[in-house]
Amino acid sequence: MAASMAANSQRQYRTRLPAAQIPTGDISLWSILKNAIGKELSKITMPVGFNEPLSFLQRMTEYMEYAHLLRLASEQDDPIARMQYVAAFAVSALGSNWERPGKPFNPLLGETFELERPEFRIICEQVSHHPPVSAFHADSENFVFHGSIHPKLKFWGKSVEIQPKGTVTVELPKWKEAYTWNNVSCCVHNIIVGKLWIEQYGTMEVVNHSTGHRAILEFKSASWFSKDLHRVEGFIVDKDKKKIKFMYGKWTEIFRVTDPQSYEDYLKENAHKFRSDDKKSKSDKSDNSPAHTPRRVLAKLNSLKVSPFRASVSTDTDDGPEEPPEGDIPASDSTFSIDIPNSVTLWEADQRPENSTDYYNFTRFAMALNEMDDDMRAKLCPTDSRLRPDIRKLEEGDVDGAATEKTRLEEKQRGRKARKDKSSKKEEKWKPRWFALGTNPHTNQEDWLYQGGYWDRNFSQLEDIF
């Protein structure tokens, strides 16, 4: 493993895709989604133009962009310091989502993706189709990171809510410690009208199962009255719930830590920065759910043809207080940002390539995920996402070809499943190659656990899924 990682440390990765993103033009998305309000979207076929050229397995691998934080955690002698870096890693994993509204391709049953970098190696596998479940296992000399994600998507009229169901686990073997947490929800706004924008919201609780320490982090939900978007803040507490550290920042930019006394002193002088604005209109107070879609908006949508990548289309209110135009993005006031004395920066997002907006707003890390040369092709598992022709064609700018290949692969998958279902032979029933359903020893909950063997590269007897 060390030799392979050393080789990867010398490699120069690409900073652009083969072709720029193709404008989708006017698409009547409402005609596709209008019968799906409040329902899961896993069975609804979306136009390829709304995809980005990555599989969900590759998108899931973006957890690892800041894997050095786990190495730093392992190097700390103090359990509080270790928790700080693990919590920073958990927050950093969401940073790449900002301005990335494109939908990743749904993995095919049995699809895999591998990635080796100087700080880690990771293997992912699509272990279930209904419901869709993606499992992963990353390791290095300093840590093990594993879990499974069952994304649930629901359409709420103006937005799509993504709930990444599943627990993730970090193990630090040097300290015999294990940390677990669940990711917060993600919401893509302005699905029908206006410019798409993304927020993360909810509570994330990172638990150290060895010491009892917890990092309880609140991802603040945005609103028209928010003064500081993308906020995340919370405390590290011990097993007796005593507050030990205050952590804060923005999941899009930066994550910092300070002591509780510095936080309390700052709070006394800047209480307004921590209070929600209470000048909300009556209508806004009722808008606490992504399901809240004004009837006047729904009434107009049937006749609209709009693209998620265009400027907003305004609609005026018919009654009540004046509201911001439909499709706009809440404004952020930098004077409400938090900067507490005696703080230490744990994580800061890397700057994206200058041409990122031409390539699906990819980060530098994402830009290289589908990269493949002849040496890599020769050793890759035949089920690796890099070999998917639909993703490859979209990356090359061939939208029509990508749509044709996507349909072919989905029909092939249905045929494979039908044959397996009809088979009476137990050995012919499909099961994952690299993961098996078991019990997470730290949570005692059902989880998909890596069975080992992938990096031996014995890829015989694998089904042709592409």
Which residue range(s) make up the domain with 214? 35-268+332-354+374-387+423-456
**2 part of a folded domain:** no
Measured between alpha carbons, how far is 64 from 215 in angstroms, rounded to an integer? Answer: 20
> C-alpha angle with apex 71: 69 to 73, nearest 5 degrees?
70
pTM above 0.85, yes or no: yes
Q: What is the predicted pLDDT for the residue at 424?
A: 62
Total count of domains within the chain: 1
**157 part of a folded domain:** yes
**281 part of a folded domain:** no
DSSP per residue, 374-439: HHHHHHS-TTBGGG-HHHHHHHTT-HHHHHHHHHHHHHHHHHHHHHHHH---GGGS---SSEEEEE
* 139, 123 contact by CB (below 8 A): no
pLDDT level of residue 67 (50, 70, 90 thresholds): very high
Q: What is the predicted pLDDT for the residue at 153?
A: 82
How confident is the model over 141-154, as pLDDT tens digits?
999 999 999 988 88
Residue 394 is which amino acid? L
Residue 325 in this model has a pLDDT that exceeds 70 = no
Name the DSSP letter for residue 40. B
**410 part of a folded domain:** no
**8 part of a folded domain:** no
How confident is the model over 417-450, as pLDDT tens digits?
777 777 766 666 789 999 999 999 999 999 999 9
Residue in 236, 228, 227 with CA at minimum distance from that of residue 256: 236
10/338: higher pLDDT: 338
**152 part of a folded domain:** yes
CATH of the domain at 158: 2.40.160.120
**64 part of a folded domain:** yes
**30 part of a folded domain:** no
